[in-house]
Copies of this chain bind each other. A is one copy, B any other.
Amino acid sequence: MTEAIERVFDHIDAHLEAHVAACQRLIRQPSISPQNVGVRECAEMLRNALLKLGCQHAALAETPGQPVVYGELWQDAPKTLLIYGMYDTQPVDDLAGWSLPPLEARLVEKPPWGRCIVARGSVNSKAPLQGFLNAVASIRAVEGKLPVNLLFVLEGEEELSSRHLPYFIDRYQEKLRRADAVLFPFALQDADGKALIWPGTKGILYFELECSGARWGRGPKAYDVHSSWKVILDSPAWRLTHALSTMTTPDGNTVTIDGFYDNVRPPREDEVALARQLAATWNPEAYTKLWQVDRFVDHESVEALVRRYYYEPTLNIDGIWSGYTGEGSKTVLPHKITAKLDCRLVPDQTPEEIEGKIRAHLDRRGYEDIELRRIGRGMWSQTGFDEPIVQAAMRAYRRLGVEPELQPRNVGFFPAYLFNGPPLRLPMVVAGLGHGGRPHSPDEYFVIDGGDGVAGLAGCEKSHAATLYEYADLTR
C-alpha cells in the first residue's frame, strides 16, 4: 500500500500546475446560492468533472432548490465511502473590502506560504473539493483503481443551511445506504499549521426578526415618514432595539432568552479533559492574527475559553437594517426594521426547541407582533473518535509527517447530522491538510504552495488520497 501511495504522491507533485488550474476554473464559475447566481452552471461543471473521473453515473439530482450533484464511482472494492462536498459560496456583496476581484481566482504571493488563491469560494470550499477530485484523478492515473468505492454527494445549498439536503437523502436513501462512512474532504490546517480533524459540529438556527408598523398596528404602516412626526408616532426601530436588548446580557456574550441554556448538556469528564489538552497547545495569536482582533471575550483561563469555544451556544447579530443608510441626513421615521441572527447550538439543544423559546420569549414580553422568519436550521452531530474513518484521517496526517489535533467538534455548521441520523446513521469526519482563511469575508484565500508548517494544494490532495488507502486498510 505504501508504494501505491508514494506513486500517487509523485503524480500529484508532477501535475500540480494542472491541478491548480482546475481549482481556478471551478472558483471562477460563480455559485452564490444566497443570491442564486451561477449555481446550476457550477453543478453542470462538476457533473462533467465526475464523468471525466470515470464515474459510471453522474447526474444533477433535482430538489425544490439547487440540485445536488450525485455520482457513483464503483471500483469492486469491499468498502464504500460517501464523499460529501459543497459547491456553493457566500455572496460578494462586500466588494469594498476586497483587494482583488473576488471571482478571478488570482494567484498572489503571501509570505511565508508562497502562492495563494485569493477569491470567494477558495477555501470555502472549492479548492479543497477540487483538490479531492484531483487526488482521485491521480490515483486513477497511476493505479487505475481506487482502494474504495465512492459515492459523491455535492450540494449547492450548504450556505443556505442545506435546506434541501434532507429532501435529497430521503429520495436517494437506498443508494446512499451502500456507504460505510462519510468523508468531507477539506483543508483543516490553521495559520500555524495545526492540523485539525472534526468528528462533529455545532447546530445552527438562522432567522430574521422584523418589526413593522403594519404588523404592530402602531407607527407608520406603509412607508418611512418625516422624522419630525416621531413626536406623536411610535417607532418600529426603537421597538426592535428594545426587544433585541432583552435577548443578551449588556456585554452581548450571555444569552438571556428564557430557557436558552436549559438543554445544554454540561461537558462530560472526557470532554473537559479534551478541552484541557487542547488548551495546552492553543495559540491565541493564530486567531488574533487571522481574525484581526485584539482580544477574546472575558475568560478566567485559556482552558475556560477553549471549553467555551467547543461547548457553548451563541446568539449572534449577522445583520440589521432600517430606514436611511446612505450619506448625510435623510430625516425619516422608518416603517420597519429587520435583523438577521444566528444561534450556534450544542448537545442537547435542538433548533426546533430554540426557535420555540425565542418566539415564547418575545411573546411573553408583549412582542407578539415581531415576526420571526426562519431562514435555515440544522442539528449538531457527533461521530465517535474510534470510528475507522476518523482513525484513517489521523493516520493519513501522520503519514505526511503532521500530528493531528482531534477536536470535539467544529464550531461552525455542516450538515453531518443528516448523515449521522436516520435513515443513514453513518459515521462522518471532516479532514484534510492545507490551509485557507477569511471564509465569508473579503480576501478569502487558499494556500497553493505552502510553507512554515502549512501544507499547500499538493499536501491537501495527498492527505485525501492517503485517507482513502488508510480507510481501506483499517476496514480490510
Contacts and interface: CB of A to CB of B under 8 A. Distances in A.
A204 B319 CA distance: 29
A238 interface: yes
B330 A222 contact: no
A239 B317 CA distance: 11
Interface string A280-317: 00000000000111111101000001001100111111
The residue in A225, A309, A317 that gathers the most chain B C-beta atoms within 10 A of its C-beta is: A317
Given A340-B323, A440-B226, A329 B161 contact: yes
Nearest to A249: B242
A237 B440 CA distance: 18
Interface stretch (A42-50, A78-86, A143-151, A228-236): A228-236
A197 to B, nearest CB: 17
Interface residues of A, number: 97
A206 interface: yes
A440 B294 contact: no
Interface stretch (A18-26, A88-96, A129-137, A170-178): A88-96
A356 interface: no
As for how many copies of this chain the complex holds, the number is: 2
B441 A328 contact: no
Contacts of A250: 242
A245 B241 contact: yes
A93 to B, nearest CB: 5
A294 B328 contact: no
Nearest to A330: B90
Contact of A322 (B35, B213, B297, B317): B317
A234 B293 CA distance: 10
Interface in A245-299: 245, 248, 250-253, 291-297, 299
Nearest to A237: B317
Contact of A222 (B292, B340, B439): B292
30 contacts: A34-B326, A35-B328, A159-B329, A218-B294, A219-B293, A223-B441, A224-B441, A225-B293, A225-B438, A227-B314, A227-B342, A227-B344, A228-B410, A232-B305, A233-B293, A237-B252, A239-B251, A242-B248, A242-B252, A317-B334, A318-B324, A318-B330, A318-B331, A318-B333, A318-B334, A319-B332, A320-B323, A329-B340, A329-B376, A332-B441
5 tightest A-B contacts by CB? A238-B252, A34-B328, A319-B323, A245-B245, A237-B317
Given A318-B330, A319-B334, 11 more contacts: A34-B328, A35-B326, A94-B224, A160-B329, A223-B442, A225-B440, A230-B315, A231-B344, A232-B297, A238-B317, A241-B241
